Chains A and B, each alone.
Chain A
Amino acid sequence: MQVQRVSGVMLRIYYLMRSSFTRVFPLFAWAAIDIVLWGFITKYLNVVTKASFDFVPTLLGAVLLWDFFTRAMFGVSTSFFEDVWSRNFLNLFSTPLTVAEYLMGLIVSSVVTSAFGLTIMLIIASLAFHLSLLSYGIWFLPFVLVLFLFGIALGIIAIGIILRFGPSAEWFIWPLPAILAPVAAVFYPVSVLPPVIQPIARIMPASYVFEGMRALLAGHAVPEGTLALGAGLAIIDVLLACWFFRTMYLRAVRTGLIARYSAESVT
């Protein structure tokens, strides 16, 4: 893997971000709106339930972490869309750039953009709704890491789908986090889900993070073993996603779709 080529992919994304407010704005805007909305909901729930239980770190923390996961995923997929929208595939893939270098460029760019989004969300959540990271302690880091890996994996799968089905498949990608959220146990335990859906939740690394978060906030110990299982699943997901993208890429090279991508299909 050549660092210069990876930095070429990243530099392109940086230039686009630097010159365009419309690209920077979504990094935090929708997540910030989510934080504000759920911030008020949690405040209201705290009032009406009069419970000793504090909804802020549970619900608002879950929203914040799920939005971070979404940003990590879109960090990969929107950078890929830039090459789709500017019809850059022929120029890009006729360079010595390898698939691994291209993916690495997208992933590192996503680290930067999602970290930026997370910082803004944390500032809003702590200033406006007194969400404190201290509630999670050191566990915040593995939570974020697992969600980041899972977001990256989903982002890579998403761009593999786009490469396979053409630019119009973009509309499958945007709602993906919303489709996954109900089975990822973001706001409620896996045990609440119907038994047939629970196995799906168990193979999603995100469910272990949110289960761990709820255990921690309920005063229990974070189940380290299951969180490690979540991390292991996330790593496997990233590897499978890279394999999937490479397979789609090789198929596109075999069929000639890379060179005629705007046609969406060569048949």
Chain B
Amino acid sequence: MDQNETVLAVRDLKKHYGKIAAVDSISFHVNRNEIVGLLGPNGAGKTTTINMLLGVLSPTSGTIEIEGIDIAKYRSRALERTNFAAVYAPLPGNLTVVQNLRVFGLLYRVRNLFERIEELLQTFDLIQFRNTKSGVLSSGEQTRLGLAKALINSPDLLLLDEPTASLDPSAAQEIRQTIRDFAREHSIGILWTSHNMYEVADVCDRVLFLSKGNILIEGDPKSLPNEHGKQTLEELFITVAREPLTLEKQV
């Protein structure tokens, strides 16, 4: 397997609502074994981009290919290789942990589903909650369940929209480690949005800064602040949010 093989290729992606450009002609890619951070202030277009990658929002123009499969033409085939977790998309609270995983396992046509569910319950420390309704889990436990669902089909591309937003620092660190281990073990690509710059610097191999629907800068989160005369990634983020024009567009 080519370690640099592209799992996600986005070209000239646009989403316009009338005259407003939520996403304005962005292009980027995610390779296998790569965690790419999609950063930007609220309203920058991160979630709009993720929704288009998930096929729940159609772009105004542009193409999205997952493992070389055009999502506009072959939505089901492309999405079979993808999954996502987001803090704003909890699983139905009226089903138990195991019931939710079974239902989504069937929707993703997972082979050996029962064994896969047991593995995930173990990995995300959910065994004692297997018959608990998802709606009564704590936010941290719900996050772990959402991640278990996100990995149920062993996706080639994982989209994580602020996956640790509701977790305490210790739980967040454990979750980051679990995701990194999974990514390494299965050679997958991850697109990760977060407002926690410590987390981004810790997990991401590359970051894309989005502002007003455009990718403003791109690079290694460890060296990028210095390249733009900033001390930290957080400082760079604040500049992107408040004074994007002071940064030269480099993508």
Chain A interfacial positions (CB closer than 8 Å to B): 2, 4-5, 7-9, 11-12, 15-16, 19-20, 82, 86-98, 250, 253-254, 256, 258-259, 266
Contacts and interface: CB of A to CB of B under 8 A. Distances in A.
A93 B104 CA distance: 11
Contacts of B88: 90
Interface string B50-67: 010011111000000000
Contacts of B90: 87
A96 B80 CA distance: 6
Given A90-B56, A94-B56, A253-B56, A12 B103 contact: yes
B242 interface: no
A162 B151 CA distance: 31
Contacts of B105: 8
Given A16-B94, A96-B75, A5 B106 contact: yes
Nearest to A20: B94
B1 interface: no
A16 B134 CA distance: 13
B192 interface: no
Interface in B20-45: none
Contacts of B93: 86
Given A5-B106, A91-B89, A259-B56, 15 more contacts: A4-B107, A4-B109, A11-B99, A15-B99, A88-B92, A89-B56, A90-B56, A91-B104, A95-B104, A95-B108, A96-B79, A96-B80, A253-B58, A254-B57, A258-B56
A86 to B, nearest CB: 4
B186 interface: no
A87 B134 CA distance: 13
A256 B57 contact: yes
B109 A5 contact: yes
A262 B97 CA distance: 24
Name which of B79, B80, B92, B99 has the most chain A CB atoms within 10 A of its CB.
B92
Interface residues of B, number: 35
B95 A96 contact: no
B215 interface: no
A94 B79 contact: yes
Q: Which of B80, B102, B109 has the most CB of A within 10 A?
A: B109
B223 interface: no
A96 B106 CA distance: 10
Interface string B91-120: 111111001001111111100000000000
Contacts of A87: 90
B55 A94 contact: yes
Nearest to B113: A4
A8 B92 CA distance: 14
A46 B94 CA distance: 48
Contacts of A92: 107
Contacts of B231: none
Contacts of A98: 75-76
B237 interface: no
A259 B51 contact: yes
B84 interface: yes
A14 B92 CA distance: 14
A95 B95 contact: no
B230 interface: no
Contacts of A250: 58
B77 interface: yes
Given A4-B106, A12-B103, A88-B92, A258 B77 contact: no
Nearest to B91: A91
A78 B106 CA distance: 21
A93 to B, nearest CB: 5
A20 B96 CA distance: 13
B55, B90, B94, B102 — most chain A CB neighbours (10 Å): B94
Which of A19, A88, A91: most chain B Cβ within 10 A?
A91
Contacts of A89: 56
The CB with the most chain A CB atoms within 10 A, among B56, B76, B99, B105, is that of: B56
27 contacts: A5-B107, A8-B103, A8-B104, A9-B107, A11-B103, A11-B106, A12-B103, A15-B103, A16-B95, A20-B94, A86-B93, A86-B94, A87-B90, A89-B56, A91-B91, A93-B55, A94-B54, A94-B56, A95-B104, A96-B79, A96-B80, A97-B107, A253-B55, A253-B56, A254-B58, A258-B57, A259-B56
